[in-house]
Amino acid sequence: MALWAVPVVAVAVAFPLVDAAEERSVAVPAPTVVEVGARSDDGRTAVEVATVRAEAPEVRAPAGGVVTALAEPGPVEPGAALFALDGVDVLAYRGLPLWRDLRPGDRGADVRALGDYLVSLGYLDADGVDDRFGPGVRDAVRALQERLGVPRDGEFRLSYVVRVDDAVPSVAGPLVVLGDRVEPGDAVLEGSQPVEALTVAPIAEGGGLGRLAREPVVLRLGEVEVPMSSAAPQGAELDGVVAALEEAVAAGTLERVVDEATATVRYRGAILALQDPAERGAVPSTAVRVDHDGTTCVLLSDGSTVAAQPRRLEVAEPGNELATVLVDADLVGSRVLRDATQATGTSGCG
């Protein structure tokens, strides 16, 4: 890797040029030309991650009664007792909607859905599932009734279950207390708030993500790296990123700030970087000439300030090192004037 000495200078915006008088004050003369070094640029940027959460879903009573038990907060598993009414457990159900009580002889898609549920609870064999409420389903319902402590008449009642969809992956807490009387449809439990969207913004004011917004990235949370297909993950990938953020907060790696008014949670202390770093050349900022129209170039040279040849740049980005500019990768190994103001044979980028 090429190394070059660069005098310490005050660096301004858009690759400033060192003041000639200040340069002459340096005791050790700087070289006239430098070799373009090589850098691997992953675009790493300190970012704030913000998640916006949807309104918390509610789990509602399928029947009226006195609340006699409430589940602890946590994941919702099919068949788990979420609460009890008048001493009878109400079980979590995630299948197709059940819209009526069911008894032997009934037919329909809801009968098949009940069969699938009974299979998941271990009360019915899978080959006993169809759209007819037959003897096998009746016996399975009797086994369920025995668990619930209700009469074993073989008829399934909607009061045995409460349907929770994928919007309720877990229960956050109760909306009632033990002893409350509820009517059918009353809210009993509050589900966890699902994340609707995740955004990533650079900490630096006025900055943008650039390539980080367009390419696969990795979110660095201390020692943990979370790959993302983009800076705006969706679906299962979004859920995984949010889980990693919460784990980082618990570990003390990130700061978590909640804005209740906007249902926004902000995470601070993360780094966003490209999964596949770009190869770049690197030169001192003094080696880059900037024309009045914004065109940038370096001056190829064998050591002469007179015969230096402008080479326009496709890439000219501030590097992570002081007073360094990242340039086109194909310039690596080339020799350029260390100070573009010293060129006497050309006045622009051509």
pLDDT in tens, the chain (350 residues): 444 544 433 333 344 444 544 444 444 556 789 999 999 888 889 999 999 988 889 999 999 999 999 999 999 999 999 999 999 999 999 999 999 999 999 999 999 999 999 999 999 999 999 999 999 999 999 999 999 999 999 999 999 999 998 878 899 999 999 999 999 999 999 998 888 889 999 988 767 888 888 899 999 999 999 999 999 999 889 989 999 999 999 999 999 999 888 889 999 999 999 998 889 999 999 999 999 999 999 999 987 777 789 999 999 988 878 889 999 999 999 999 999 988 887 778 87
CATH number of 59-191: 1.10.101.10
Amino acid at 15: F
Integer Cα distance of 224 and 251 in angstroms: 11
Amino acid at 322: L
Between the alpha carbon of residue 305 and those of residues 4, 20, 171, 196, 348, the distances in Å are 18, 15, 72, 59, 14
- For the chain, give every residue range classified as CATH 1.10.101.10: 59-191
Question: By 3-state DSSP, what share of the chain in percent is helix, strand and coil, each rounded to 5?
Answer: 20, 35, 45
| Three-class DSSP category at 247 | helix
At 130 the pLDDT is 93
Which DSSP symbol is given to 148?
A: H
Integer Cα distance of 49 and 70 in angstroms: 34
CB burial string 234-262: b at 16+ within 10 A, e below: eeebbeebbebbeebbeeebbeeeeeeee
CA–chain centroid gap for 47, Å, is: 12
Which DSSP symbol is given to 128?
A: G
Sequence-distant (≥ 6) Cβ neighbours of residue 124 within 8 angstroms? 115, 118, 136, 137, 140
Alpha helices in the chain, H assignment, sequence order: 20-24, 109-120, 135-148, 235-250
At 4 the pLDDT is 52
Sequence-distant (≥ 6) Cβ neighbours of residue 21 within 8 angstroms? none
Integer Cα distance of 348 and 293 in angstroms: 10
- For the chain, give every residue range classified as CATH 2.40.420: 278-349
Closest of 202, 218, 275 to residue 50, by C-alpha = 202
Sequence-distant (≥ 6) Cβ neighbours of residue 33 within 8 angstroms? 301, 302, 303, 335, 336, 337, 338
- Asked whether 67 and 85 are in contact (CB, 8 A), the reply is yes
Sequence-distant (≥ 6) Cβ neighbours of residue 318 within 8 angstroms? 15, 324, 325, 326
- Asked whether 327 and 288 are in contact (CB, 8 A), the reply is yes
Q: Which two tokens stand for residue 207?
A: 């900055």
In CATH terms, 278-349 corresponds, of 2.40.420, 2.70.98, 1.25.10, 3.90.70, to 2.40.420
Instruction: Compute φ and ψ for 244, nearest 5 degrees.
Output: -65, -40
Q: Which residues pair with 53 in a beta bridge?
A: 195
Q: Is the pTM of this model over 0.85?
A: no
